[in-house]
């Protein structure tokens, strides 16, 4: 049975509503933990106000932040899934859902032409909203994750020499985190995603995936990578920054690292800050057009990381 476009549009719309109003459970828990551990008076006050704002948003059914960022979709398509109208139909449904969400929730109309600055007033335009795909064997459903990605700043890329190794990554990490946080250009407490390897564009992509598609507290399955995540998390919180450039104990609630094999003479690294208003929601549409709400994106499967089909 084909997955119908009506369900895709309705689910994408509802995910935008959920993402704008309700922060995910892991994010709420991380904010509460940050509030309990923070000792700086100003940063602690800011965290308390952020937690109170979450309650107000849910009670009034309004977006938790006035700036709902740019809408981004992560689409996991099962290899056995059949979609009415194919992938083109899927994309058109997503665009319609984005227009509806902008109008009805409402999302802030943030999408403009990069040169003329003319606002589309729909959050739909050239190559917008951004759609990222992953494909999964032995799956006949599709999974949709909406991320309303804020953060004007907080992202950087550097091509290191292989000889710089972990020391070079650590130095780049400190440079990036200090530069953006001392100027108050990211809304903490943040999740920091680090992409290592691949080509330049791939490195940037997997770094963003690391920031927005893993649960706070979830470690990478490779023990060495997991150890680095904890090391960099401690490093971030030992710097002495809190929220918006203030002094504090909690700059980051987590650090996630994702890898891609790369050329023998390169070591590309990308770093992304995911702001505290972490707007994310996920759902699955089955082949029978049943909708299942997902507590978390099911993005980083063994197939995605390894590209191997297990016999």
DSSP-assigned beta bridge partners for residue 195: 258, 270
Tell me the C-alpha distance between 8 and 84, whole Å. Answer: 10
Tell me the C-alpha distance between 150 and 25, whole Å. Answer: 19
> Closest Cα to residue 2, out of 275, 286, 197, 212?
286
pLDDT at 77: 97
Q: Quick one: fold of 5-22+64-150+279-306?
A: 60s Ribosomal Protein L30; Chain: A; (3.30.1330)
> Closest Cα to residue 68, out of 103, 31, 19, 28?
19
Give 214-259 pLDDT, tens digit per residue: 999 999 999 999 999 999 999 999 999 988 778 999 999 999 999 9
pLDDT at 151: 63
Look at the block and give the residue holding tokens 């979709």: 73
User: How long a stretch of residues is the chain?
Assistant: 311
> Is the confidence at residue 169, as pLDDT, over 60?
yes
Domain with CATH 3.30.1330 in the chain: 5-22+64-150+279-306, 151-274
Yes or no: domain 151-274 corresponds to CATH 3.30.1330:
yes
Q: Answer for the pair 72, 132: CB distance below 8 angstroms, yes or no.
A: yes
Tell me the C-alpha distance between 31 and 189, whole Å. Answer: 8
Q: How far lies 188's CA from each of 4, 70, 210, 274, in Å?
A: 39, 18, 17, 8
Q: Give the SS3 label for residue 74.
A: strand
> Is the confidence at residue 311, as pLDDT, over 60?
no
> Is the confidence at residue 24, as pLDDT, over 90?
yes
* Lookup: tokens for 123: 């959050």
- Listing DSSP states for 82-101 in one string gives -BTTHHHHHHHHHHHHHHHH
pLDDT at 66: 86
Per-residue pLDDT averaged across 273-286, rounded?
92
Q: What is the pTM of this model?
A: 0.94
Express as a percent the part of the chain with pLDDT over 70. 99
């Amino acid at each position: 049975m084909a997955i119908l476009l009506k369900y895709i549009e309705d689910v994408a719309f509802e995910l935008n509503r959920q993402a704008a109003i309700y922060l995910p459970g892991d994010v709420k828990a991380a904010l509460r933990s940050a509030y309990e551990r923070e000792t700086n008076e100003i940063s602690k006050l800011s965290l308390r106000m952020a937690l109170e704002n979450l309650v107000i948003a849910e009670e009034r059914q309004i977006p938790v932040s006035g700036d709902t960022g740019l809408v981004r979709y992560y689409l996991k398509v099962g290899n056995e899934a059949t979609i009415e109208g194919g992938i083109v139909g899927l994309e058109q449904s997503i665009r319609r859902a984005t227009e509806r969400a902008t109008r009805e929730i409402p999302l802030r109309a943030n999408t403009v032409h990069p040169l003329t600055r003319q606002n589309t007033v729909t959050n739909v335009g050239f190559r917008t909203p951004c759609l990222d795909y992953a494909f999964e064997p032995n799956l006949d459903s599709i999974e949709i994750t909406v991320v309303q990605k804020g953060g004007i700043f907080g992202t950087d890329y550097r091509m290191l020499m292989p000889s710089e190794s972990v020391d070079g990554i650590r130095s780049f990490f400190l440079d990036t985190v200090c530069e953006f946080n001392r100027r108050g250009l990211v809304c903490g407490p943040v999740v920091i995603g680090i992409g290592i390897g691949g080509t330049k564009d791939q490195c940037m992509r997997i770094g963003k995936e690391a920031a927005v598609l893993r649960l706070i507290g979830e470690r990478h399955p490779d023990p060495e990578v997991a150890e680095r995540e904890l090391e960099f998390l401690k490093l971030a919180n030992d710097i002495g920054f809190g929220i918006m450039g203030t002094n504090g104990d909690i700059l980051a609630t987590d650090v996630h690292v994702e890898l891609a094999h790369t050329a023998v003479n390169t070591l590309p690294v990308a770093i992304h800050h995911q702001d505290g208003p972490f707007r994310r929601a996920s759902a699955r549409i089955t082949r029978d057009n049943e909708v299942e709400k997902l507590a978390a994106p099911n993005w980083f499967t063994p197939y995605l990381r390894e590209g191997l089909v297990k016999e």
